[in-house]
C-alpha cells in the first residue's frame, strides 16, 4: 500500500460516510427522537458491524485480490460505477427528510438501538459493495493481509465515527433544521458530489 492509495481510501470512506444512507438515517432518527446519547448507540452498532466486515474480509480477501487481472478490472469498475451511481442519486434524487412522526415505533433502549444498528449495517447494500468491490483494490497481495486490514479499518472507522457523531449531534440539537427539505437537499448534493469524485478516483486505481 502506498501513501496515495491510503489517502484515496480514506477520502472514499469519508465520502461514503457523509452520503445519507440507511446508517446515517438511523443515527439522525435516534438523535431527533431520543437525543445525542442514544444516537451514540446507533453509531457504535454501525461501526461494530463494519469491524466484523473487516475481520471477514481479512480471511478471504487474499485469494480474491490474487485472482486474474481481468477479475480485478471488473471489480474495480463495479465499485467505481456503484460510487458514481450513489453520488448521482444523492445529487438528483428526491430528498427524503425525516419527520418526528416517522420515528414512532423505533427502539428507544440503548442496547435495542445498538442491535438494530448492527443488523441494519450488516444488511446495508452500500456496505456489502464497499467490502466486496472497493476494499480489495487497496490491498497489496504481496504484503500481509491482516496488517493491511488493521490500517484500512482504522482509516475507515475513525472518520466514520467522527462523521456519525456529527450527524447525531446536529440531529439532537437542531430537530427542526434536520427535518427541513431544503437543508436535506443541500446535504445530499454536497455529499453526492464527493461520492461521484471518489468513484472517478477509484476508477483510476491500478493494480
Summarize pLDDT for 25-36 with one digit per residue, the tens. 778 878 877 788
Residue 145 in contact with residue 58, Cβ under 8 Å? yes
DSSP 67: S
Other beta carbons within 10 angstroms of residue 4's beta carbon come to 9
pTM: 0.68
Query: In this model, does residue 106 exceed pLDDT 60?
Result: no
Place of cell 475481520: 55
Picking from 155, 5, 12, 140, the residue whose alpha carbon sits closest to that of residue 79 is 12
Q: What percent of the chain has pLDDT over 90?
A: 14
> What's the start-to-end Cα distance of the chain, in Å?
10
pLDDT tens digits along 58-75 = 776 545 555 556 665 676
> What's the mean pLDDT in 151-179?
84
- Residue 88 CA, distance from chain mean position: 16
What average pLDDT does range 134-146 have in this prediction? 81
**Residue 126 to residues 4, 35, 147, 189, Cα–Cα distance (Å):** 24, 26, 24, 18
Residues in the chain: 207
How many other C-beta atoms lie within 10 A of the C-beta of residue 29? 22
Res 40 pLDDT > 90: yes
CA distance 52 to 64: 18
Whether the pLDDT of residue 164 is over 90: the answer is yes
- pLDDT for res 91: 79
Per-residue pLDDT for 90 more than 60?
yes
Give me Rg for the CA atoms of the chain.
17
The grid coordinates of residue 203 equal 476508477
Confidence check: pLDDT of 168 > 80: yes
| Percent of the chain whose predicted confidence (pLDDT) is above 70 | 67
Amino acid at each position: 500500500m502506498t501513501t496515495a492509495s491510503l489517502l484515496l481510501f480514506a477520502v472514499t470512506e469519508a465520502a461514503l460516510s457523509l452520503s445519507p444512507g440507511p446508517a446515517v438515517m438511523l443515527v439522525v432518527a435516534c438523535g431527533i427522537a431520543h437525543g445525542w446519547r442514544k444516537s451514540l448507540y446507533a453509531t457504535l452498532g454501525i461501526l461494530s458491524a463494519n469491524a466484523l466486515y473487516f475481520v471477514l474480509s481479512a480471511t478471504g480477501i487474499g485469494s480474491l485480490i490474487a485472482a486474474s487481472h481481468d477479475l480485478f478490472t471488473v471489480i474495480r469498475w463495479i465499485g467505481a460505477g456503484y460510487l458514481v451511481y450513489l453520488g448521482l442519486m444523492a445529487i438528483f434524487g428526491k430528498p427524503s427528510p425525516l419527520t418526528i412522526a416517522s420515528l414512532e415505533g423505533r427502539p428507544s433502549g440503548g442496547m435495542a438501538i445498538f442491535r438494530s444498528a448492527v443488523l441494519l449495517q450488516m444488511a446495508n447494500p452500500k456496505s456489502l459493495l464497499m467490502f466486496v468491490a472497493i476494499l480489495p483494490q487497496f490491498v497489496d497481495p504481496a504484503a500481509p493481509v491482516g496488517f493491511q486490514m488493521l490500517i484500512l479499518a482504522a482509516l475507515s472507522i475513525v472518520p466514520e465515527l467522527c462523521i456519525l457523531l456529527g450527524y447525531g449531534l446536529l440531529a439532537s440539537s437542531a430537530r427542526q433544521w434536520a427535518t427541513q427539505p431544503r437543508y436535506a437537499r443541500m446535504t445530499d448534493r454536497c455529499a453526492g458530489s464527493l461520492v461521484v469524485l471518489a468513484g472517478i478516483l477509484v476508477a483510476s486505481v491500478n493494480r
